[in-house]
Chain A
Amino acid sequence: MPEQVKKTLYLLVIHTLLIAVALSCIFPFVWMINSSLKPNSEFIQDHGFEPPSEVNFENYIYTFTKGNLGTYFLNSILYTFLTVIAIVIISSLAGYGISRLKFKGKNLIFYMILAAMMIPIPAAFVPLYVLLKGVGLLNTRIGYILAMVNVGLSLSIYLYKTFFDQLPKDLEESARIDGCGKLRIWWHVMFPLAKPATGVVVIFNALNVWNELILALVILSRKGLMPLQVGLLKFSQSSVGLTQYTTLMAALTIAALPIIIIYLIMQKHIIKGMTAGATVG
């Protein structure tokens, strides 16, 4: 049947293209992990296309002991953790306030928050640098964390606000009749109900903070404070990073592998969260 043949041929072309692109996405990481397990001299000979003659973890040991990777890694975890917690608390409070409570200037504040999403980072990081320097928050953890909280805040408030808008008011009413204050209603009723919104907020912001570069570059110049992305850049520009390719690849593997594993475990939520975040923005 010619119709059948045509369809099979069509599917074959599509699948070839899909598989080729998919391979181009996976291959570099396999190559990276493979190369990071061999000494540099071996890598230069075989370009990392052959399995290591013997597995050795010297590169990994070097990146942790001399390359400072451990510090960068812990810094990144600290920044991500604190920023996300702060964003969730502050933005769910604000989202609840804007959605349910009455006060003067509420709409103005909400529009301001929406407008802030339009301000591009390149127009904002220069004055931020001068301001932070002026108040002595440059090169401090708290300065960077607050700046990152600010970056994620407007989108998160919007997500919480729209989520709370859709919730029925009955539960709140009954809690109020039971004598709950507003803060307790937020904590015991609204916040637990908002789990789907919280999921999106946590995933979107966690990835955002983990991968953030420009603010970290501008605000943090002390080695002990740098997060992983800036640390990797620093390491790649050191004499070891420029010449010892396999050591650099060990560092990249350390940075990439946790994300890849977390991504594979939670891929459904991550894809949903990232697209929800991006679509709103």
Chain B
Amino acid sequence: MNKKEQLINFSFVAPALAIFSFFYIIPFFYTFWLSLHKASPTNVLDLNFVGAQNFKDIFSPQIFIVLVAVVGIFLILFALKNKFQKLSLNNKKGLAQTLQFATIAIGGACLIYAATTFITISRQAIDFNPDLQWWNSVRRSFYITLWGLTFQNCLAFILALGVDRATRTGKLYRVIFFLLPVLGEVIIGLLLRIMLSHYPGVFNHLLENIGLGQWAQNWLGKDMALATLAVSHCWRGFGYGFIILLAGLQTIPEQLYEAARIDGANAWHRFTKITVPMLVPIIFLVIILTILGTVQIIGLPMALTRGGPAGKTTVSVLRIFYDLNNSHVGYASAEGLILGLILVTLSFGMLKISKKMKS
């Protein structure tokens, strides 16, 4: 194969690669660079290098030191265990060794940095002061995710089971339940805003009419807003899990149930011994999709409450967006990095657990 043919073949992926480089790869590395800077309040492009200051502000210096030290120890242990031999480096021993030394060097640098910063901090007696605004927004994201994992997925599972048992194809229900995920978050969020807001109080009026007047309250007020947001999110999003789980349920062959019935297994046994084990991969898929989808929500809080009242529903991505709007570009990058790292760790962890469950 000559050079010209290679070039022609490569040109098929070239447009994709060009867009990719500019919109994914460069931004990916640029985030790390940006997170070490502070932009001037008037011009976002005017960046000043501040080192790890953004991370110290987010974690508080004390926790940051501990994290750096842990990363350093981890890197050194990783290098000493010589995992690099496992990587298929075409048996180039020199490369593996260089990588090992480099990793040890980086780990050592982390430890030295942690130690020196620890000494300077202990002399200055700096207060323990992590950025609670940010960590609270992360906590809210995970609060909603918890609702999504429990309430939303249980609802999806129960409805999928019901449709699978009670109707032949469940086509009508599938169409209805999937309507909400298809419509945008903004439309649903604004619709709910009108319904739930204290004035004109449509939902409260509805509750009174069906005799549940004592439940009426300010759904978007300070105490309830986050829970309302979480439940709204579940209501909007259960259709996805429902469709995926139903498709999974319908692939389980009917003969399995028949055989179990003949063997005298009751409904509960059939459920726990056939349905659930057969569905494990799909359940994990739904869990991963729920986590990824819920931690990153922004459209629904934006439309429903705009992060209010008093910041009670500002979720993590909304926090990043507001920081960006206030020209805190470096800070927003650091927050984005932390959130991205949490998400990637979570989804990899879930994948690992699901692989273990399979074997």
A residues apposed to B, CB below 8 Å: 11, 14-15, 17-18, 21-22, 24-26, 28, 31-32, 43-44, 47-49, 90-91, 93-94, 96-98, 101-104, 106, 109, 112-113, 116, 118-131, 133-134, 146-147, 149-150, 153-154, 157, 182, 186, 207, 210-211, 213-214, 217-218, 228-229, 232-233, 236-237, 245, 248-249, 252, 255-256, 259-260, 263-264, 267, 270-271, 274-275, 278-279, 281
Contacts and interface: CB of A to CB of B under 8 A. Distances in A.
B277 interface: no
B13 A207 contact: no
B296 A120 contact: yes
B321 A270 contact: no
Given A120-B292, A213-B298, A218 B12 contact: no
Interface residues of B, number: 86
5 tightest Cβ-Cβ pairs between the two chains A and B: A97-B12, A123-B340, A150-B23, A94-B16, A101-B9
A263 B174 CA distance: 12
B324 A271 contact: no
A278 B289 CA distance: 8
Contacts of B24: 116, 119, 124, 150
A256 B177 contact: no
B226 interface: no
Given A28-B191, A93-B15, A125 B336 contact: yes
A221 to B, nearest CB: 10
A255 B19 contact: no
Nearest to A186: B12
B135 interface: no
Interface string B30-43: 11001000000000
B339 A112 contact: no
A159 to B, nearest CB: 13
B184 A271 contact: no
Interface of B: 1, 6, 8-10, 12-13, 15-17, 19-20, 22-28, 30-31, 34, 44-45, 155, 158-159, 162-163, 165-166, 173-187, 190-195, 200-202, 205-206, 235, 240, 243-244, 247, 285, 289, 292, 296, 298-299, 302-303, 306, 316-317, 320-321, 324, 329, 332-333, 336-337, 339-340, 343-344, 347
Contacts of A44: 200
A210 B30 CA distance: 28
Given A90-B15, A127-B27, A252-B191, A97 B9 contact: yes
Given A47-B205, A213-B184, A271-B178, A146 B190 contact: no
B12 A96 contact: yes
Nearest to A137: B22
A281 B195 CA distance: 34
Given A267-B175, A275-B244, A150 B182 contact: no
A32 B189 CA distance: 13
B159 A150 contact: no
Contacts of B194: 245, 248-249
Contacts, number: 252
A113 B20 contact: yes
8 contacts: A14-B165, A22-B173, A90-B16, A103-B10, A109-B17, A120-B339, A126-B320, A255-B187
B257 to A, nearest CB: 15
B305 to A, nearest CB: 12
Contacts of A11: 166
Given A22-B173, A182-B8, A279-B285, A124 B180 contact: no
A249 B187 CA distance: 9
Nearest to B243: A275
Most buried by B among A48, A126, A147, A207: A126
Nearest to B201: A47
B31 to A, nearest CB: 5
Contact of A127 (B10, B16, B34): B34
Nearest to A134: B45
Contacts of A255: 184, 186-187
A96 B14 CA distance: 12
Given A25-B180, A116-B24, A182-B9, A122 B336 contact: yes
Nearest to B23: A150
A32 B177 contact: no
A184 B212 CA distance: 68
A218 B324 CA distance: 9
Contacts of B344: 118, 120
A260 B179 contact: yes
Contacts of B200: 43-44, 47, 245
Given A15-B166, A210-B184, 13 more contacts: A14-B162, A17-B162, A22-B176, A93-B12, A120-B339, A122-B317, A122-B343, A126-B333, A149-B19, A248-B190, A249-B191, A270-B178, A274-B181
Nearest to B204: A47
A267 B178 contact: yes
A106 to B, nearest CB: 8
Given A113-B20, A211-B184, A98 B191 contact: no
